[in-house]
Amino acid sequence: MRRRRFVAGAIGTLSAGALGPDPARAVTPLPRAQDWQAVPAPGSTPPAQLRRIAAAGPQLAWAVGEEQLGGAGGALGLAMVWDGSGWSKVDVSPLELTRLSDVAGVGATAAWSVGQRAGGGSALLRWNGTAWSEVAFPGQGEPDLRLSAVAVGRDRRVWVCGSRGGALRLLYGDGKGWRWLDPLPVASSNLYRVVWRAPGEVWVSGDQASGGGWSGLVARWNGAWTVLPPIAGLRLGIADVHAAGSCDVWAVGTEAGVGGPPGRPGNPALAHWDGTAWTRVEAGFTVGALSGIAGDARGRAAWICGWNYRDQSRSTYLRRDGGTWVIVRGPSGTAPAPYLNDITPVPGTAGFWSSGMTRPVPAPPTEAYTERLGA
């Protein structure tokens, strides 16, 4: 079952005044060393965006997405690599992909990506230290097979979420071969993210049918599936999940809701699982989206990236401060109205990367965009 999530390209043409100012908006200043800084990501053909970002350390990171959206030749997959001093574009044109959907990596030769072809076919890619190349996997080329997201553990084992034969499943690679694991036991659902937590344990997030709409979906695989109760909402999709443990899980996404003026954006959704029930938590702003969540060096949920429709002058983050989440703003004047799609920690440091695009609509002159916290 394929549903349309709230995405940047579906925002419409409302002005901020159409919905009024956000009374919950706040700015939480941090010490200068903790400020987010914009980092140029040159070389893409507008309109372009970076959908996902991953880092192996201060000297190596990857970001992927798409460029030339709406162009005469069709959209093209976009890949960037960070070498410690700047981003550079990696040529993936020989792979003939229209999009790179996700990326994950833990080392110079232990990074993986998934991409989409024109017509809907999927590709699995590996980074060899200098370039991306395609890797064969079971079921490759089947008309109903889709790969949507990828995770890599510190043990370098690879987990890909997707669908095959009408069921949502995980494709698992242990360095010796690939195999599809048991189907997720949830009908009429979609998966958008897979996240590694520990050897043999990953978490997935997405949505599932619920009445006339859909509710948030979070599940764990550790040899068998454990599906948490649905996160109730009006057309709610969970874009990302972070699990510090089985009783400490955070989920972020967007609730499309019902009603409102034409083109109305959704509402940011933040929920916490304590081992017994989900609790919805206020995001601090009321119209927009939450798109990614990342943990700190101790594995605790630490940062969330999002988009505040009512104040688009800077990027918007939530930072964990004890038992609460507080709003933090990104740099000013670096992009017209930045929209963030993802956030990731930088191993071995207290830093983080985020990625997205310079404006909330993937139309000219929107460009690929990144921000960094910490040196």
Which amino acid, residue 133?
S
Q: What digits encode the pLDDT tens for the residues 27-43?
A: 444 334 369 999 999 99
140: number of Cβ within 10 Å: 15
Among 115-119, 155-159, 181-185, the range scoring the smallest mean pLDDT is: 115-119
Give a yes or no: residue 285 inside a domain. Answer: yes
pLDDT reading at 21 higher than 70? no
> Does some domain include residue 3?
no
Q: What is the pLDDT of residue 321?
A: 95
On whether residue 286 sits in a domain, the answer given is: yes
Q: Are 161 and 145 in contact (CB under 8 A)?
A: no
Cα separation, 181 vs 177, in Å, equals 13
Q: What CATH number is associated with residue 262? A: 2.130.10.150
For 175-244, give the DSSP string. Answer: SS-EEE-PPPS-SSEEEEEEEEEETTEEEEEEEEEETTEEEEEEEEESSSEEEPPPB--SSEEEEEEEEE
What pLDDT, on the 0 to 100 scale, is given for residue 34? 61
86 phi and psi angles, rounded to 5 deg: -175, 165
Mean pLDDT of the chain: 90
- Asked if the structure places residue 2 within a domain, the reply is no
pLDDT tens per residue across span 351-375: 999 999 999 999 999 999 999 999 6
Structural domain contains residue 1: no
Record the tokens describing residue 62, joined without a space. 């990857």
| Position 273 confidence tier, pLDDT thresholds 50, 70, 90 | very high
What type of residue is 244? A
Residue 72 lies in a domain: yes
Residue 146 in tokens: 């889709």
Instruction: Tally Cβ neighbours within 10 Å of residue 130.
Output: 10
* Sheet of strand 267-273, all strands in order from the earlier edge strand to the far edge: 236-245, 248-255, 267-273, 278-280
Is residue 157 domain-resident?
Answer: yes
Give the best-scoring range by mean pLDDT among 114-123, 195-204, 260-269. 195-204
- pLDDT (0 to 100) of residue 118: 86
- pLDDT of 17 > 70? The answer is no
Alpha-carbon distances of 122 from 99, 102, 111, rounded to whole Å: 10, 12, 17
pLDDT (tens digit per residue) in 121-161? 999 999 999 999 999 999 999 999 999 999 999 999 999 99
Domain encompassing residue 193:
8-373
Into how many domains does the chain fold? 1
Terminal-to-terminal C-alpha distance of the chain: 43
Closest CA to 357 of 69, 92, 84, 74: 69
The answer to whether residue 152 is domain-embedded is yes
Phi-psi category of residue 112: left, alpha or beta, with phi > 0 → left and psi -120 to 50 → alpha: beta
